[in-house]
Amino acid sequence: MIQKLPHFTGFLSGLQNRGGGGDQEYFAMVSMGDPGQWNKGKYSFSGHLKALIGEAESRGLRFVYAISPGQDIVFSSSCDLTLLKRKLRQVAELGCHAFTLLFDDIDHSMCQADKEAFSSFAHAQVTVANEIFRFLGNPPVFLFCPTEYCSSLCTPSVSKSPYLLTIGEDLLPGISIIWTGKRVISRDLCADSLAEVQSVIRRPPLIWDNLHANDYDSRRVFLGPFKGRSPGLRAHLRGLLLNPNCEFEANFIPLHTLGSWHKEGKEERKGDEEGYGVERALSVALQDWMKELCLPLHPGRQVRSTDPKPSLSSVKSKSSDSSENQHEAKPKTSITSSWSSGALASDEIPAVPATHQDLEAGLYYLPHEHGPPAQSLLQDLTWLKANCHSVSVNGKKTPQQKAEEWRGRAGRFLAACDDVALLHSAMVNSVNRAVLYDLYPYIWDLRNTLLVAKAFICCLEGRIMSESSQLGSWKNCFHWCGASSGAELLGMEAEPWVFKGGLSGEVQMLLPVGTSNELFSHPPPLFPTCRLYNIRPFQQKDKVELYHMVHQLYQRGRGSQDATISHPDFIGDRCLGASLALCPEYSLVLEDELGVCGCAVGILDVRLFAKRCQATWLPAMRDKYLSLPHGHAATKEALLYFHEEQDYPDSQLYHFPSQLRLEALPELVDCSISRSLITALLTALKANGSPGVFCEVQPTDGSRIEFLTKLGFLEILRGEARSREGVVLGRLL
């Protein structure tokens, strides 16, 4: 007999309902402490727990306390059972009247004592659960999470699982059983599969919905709507609890749309009245969320008094402007971003049109699908990668129309990347600091990944080789990246954690160095900055600024004016000149609102580069500095330097044929930008076939060595093994 119990909807993880539930019945389930500490005496934070229970009740929530004894409990031990009862009685005395026993994600094996006392693992769990249920006085809400809590975990199937059959037959009817659906994170829930579960466990299941849970991937957050669950499923359920994002502020849209789903399921519709519509519910939630984003809140949702700053609604998308520019583009015009030759000042960020209010939710949508903005980004990047031969440096002659189509889609992709950069800056400028600190790591990560992708797309036109051979550098780099979902690679629908990273991860994997996670995964800065950055290919007009920058860096390092650098070009010629002159296609410029603030220059083949230097560059430099007046301070050092020859051993150049150099102003406080700059250069080198790259660092420059080591560089040569003093660090690509 199936016992009829009231239906309820709610959420997990101890969040508080701040939206005003109206006639909706919400539950909040909290699991306190480490699962391994369930038997370690009384809680030291009972006062806080009592306050939390009281706060939940004052807001119309039923507080559910959850405990996980399954890791190390001996089911047949009277001592363990007494400790568990004592713990739950303490919580009951604090005013809690709803409980959950969790036996999920544990080993099925039992100790010898339990094997002798119980016929099966399920029998052991049921015996303990029933006794606890009776001990607590048959509470109105008592939940049980089985070890087989979804279809994919059932052996051999839901209907034939001995474990589930025992649970359904022996568990007292007043105890509700938790279920997550076909999988741990179910894309959708259907009535047929729930009916099958109900027939096995002999009661309607309680859905523990992990649709918006993000604790399995530090690079993902889910701002999309409650989706894939028809309101008509209520007839097959004991209730539904949404397991939300770890970040409180990320759950406005999930909980708002869950409330709409719950309301639609309770109300009887008449005539042609529409039921729960995902897009309609999302639109309403976005409108209400935009109001929240304008509230001046600190983390913890404390109101702060502050002067108004631009909020998220004060950011303007540049997609429309960029699209107009694309239509006006003349033939053979190179692709440019909407601010490729300059940057917007952070205090000039315009407002976002109402049509773009869902950009952030679309970028961080749901675990099994991307929103429209993310889909467009991935589709464009994939197409640009597949059709790069239209604009490659050595590609076959292609129709002008095909090249222009490539440039048009590239312009759209760059404009979309700029939209994300503007969204990042708007978030930092927002008065709602609570939302900022919860969501900033995610938008910051995506901003940095798209900086690399954007620079790479800019480099594709006329800078990257395209080879028809399957062993060619370009095709080899992307050989396995064709399938971008777990379903395609595994032949089945995989759990979302199989392929981590979300949109950032998928963009990363579409780049030649995408498998090198150390280049993309790093913690966000302690103090968010709204400064806008751009990484783009070097242009000849940049030479003056770059020479001035390295001259300035040299002077700062020396602490005073050095007579040996009285010629304004000497440091620039020495550090950057040869690379900018002989291989500008591997030179990238970093700029912010004030102009150029860094650069990364690369050499694809050091051996070939050295020969070209000897033939053209060095003679030109000797002539340049020999023309100075006799006895000029720079003449002697210049002639000595420009007569030096590269002395890297062949064994090194065999594995690390490429070289790079990074220069950046110390005002660049966000080190992640320097990471992105180097990663963009490594991407270009890898795409053109380089198996490894090295750089030379002074042994006293500890910070630079530490920085490169975090990017996967290792020391491969020291000064004592050669005539020069520097330490050589290298990494394979």
**DSSP secondary structure of 634-692:** HHHHHHHHHT------HHHHHH--EEEEEEE-TT---HHHHHHHHHHHHHHHHHTT-SE
Q: Where are the alpha helices (DSSP H) in 464-566?
A: 473-477, 486-490, 502-509, 543-558
pLDDT at 642: 58
Q: How far apart are CA 309 and CA 11, in angstroms?
A: 33
- Would you give the distance in Å from CA 160 to the centre of its chain? 39
- Based on the number of CB atoms within 10 Å of its own CB, is 46 exposed (0-12), middle (13-18) or buried (19 or more)? middle
Distance set, CA 149 to CA 106, 184, 458 (Å): 11, 8, 48
Domain with CATH 1.20.58.240 in the chain: 312-519
552: phi then psi, degrees, rounded to nearest 5: -65, -45
Per the structure block, which two tokens stand in for 697? 């660092």
Q: Which CATH number fits domain 534-732: 3.40.50.1370, 3.60.20.10, 3.40.630.30, 1.10.760.10?
A: 3.40.630.30
**Token representation of residue 723:** 């005539």
Q: Are 520 and 449 in contact (CB under 8 A)?
A: yes
The three-state DSSP-derived secondary structure of 357-402 is CCHHHHHCCECCECCHHHHHHHHHHHHHHHCHHHCCCCCCCCCHHH
Name the 3-class secondary structure at 424.
helix
- Residues sharing a CB contact under 8 Å with residue 372, sequence separation 6 or more, in sequence order: 362
Q: Which of 403, 228, 395 is nearest to 330 (CA)?
A: 403
CA dist 99 to 65, 136, 238, 564, Å? 5, 9, 15, 78
Residue range(s) in the chain whose domain bears CATH number 3.20.20.80: 8-269+277-293
Average pLDDT, 10 consecutive residues per value, the chain (733 residues): 51 43 45 52 71 88 89 92 93 93 92 94 96 96 96 95 97 96 94 95 95 93 94 87 92 93 72 73 92 82 56 40 38 44 40 56 94 94 90 71 91 94 88 90 94 92 54 40 42 76 94 91 82 92 92 75 65 89 93 91 93 88 71 54 68 92 82 92 93 92 91 81 74 93
Radius of gyration of the chain measured on its C-alpha atoms: 31
Every domain range in the chain assigned CATH 3.40.630.30: 534-732
Determine the Cα–Cα distance for residues 338 and 353; give it in Å rounded to an integer: 17
8-269+277-293 CATH, one of 3.30.160.270, 3.90.45.10, 3.20.20.80, 1.10.760.10: 3.20.20.80
Measuring CA to CA, which residue among 408, 416, 371, 417 is closest to residue 390?
Answer: 408
Instruction: Write down the pLDDT at residue 202.
Output: 96
Q: What gap in Å lies between CA 414 and CA 521, rounded to an integer? A: 22
Q: Which residues on adjacent β-strands are paired with residue 715?
A: 729
Residue 105 corresponds to which tokens in the numbers above?
């994600």
Q: In angstroms, rounded to a whole number, what is the distance separating the alpha carbons of residues 732 and 686?
A: 10
Question: Number of C-alpha atoms within 13 angstroms, CB side, residue 490?
Answer: 10
| 8 A C-beta contact, residue 101 and residue 143 | yes
Task: Decide: 693 and 731 in contact? Cβ < 8 Å.
Answer: yes
0.75 exceeded by the pTM?
A: yes
Matching residue, tokens 């500490």: 37
Is the bond preceding 156 in cis, omega lying within 30 degrees of 0? yes
Could you tell me which CATH number the domain at 312-519 has? Answer: 1.20.58.240
Give the model's pLDDT for residue 477. Answer: 43
Per-residue model confidence (pLDDT) at position 1? 33
Structure confidence at residue 346 (pLDDT): 41
Give dist(CA 204, CA 186) in Å, integer.
18
Return the number of other C-beta atoms located less than 10 Å from residue 648's C-beta: 20
Catalytic residues: 105
- C-alpha distances in Å from residue 308, one per residue of 383, 422, 432, 434: 42, 19, 10, 15
Written as one letter, the residue type at 167 is I
What's the sign of the alpha-carbon dihedral 274, 279, 280, 285? positive
Cα torsion 204, 206, 212, 216: sign: negative
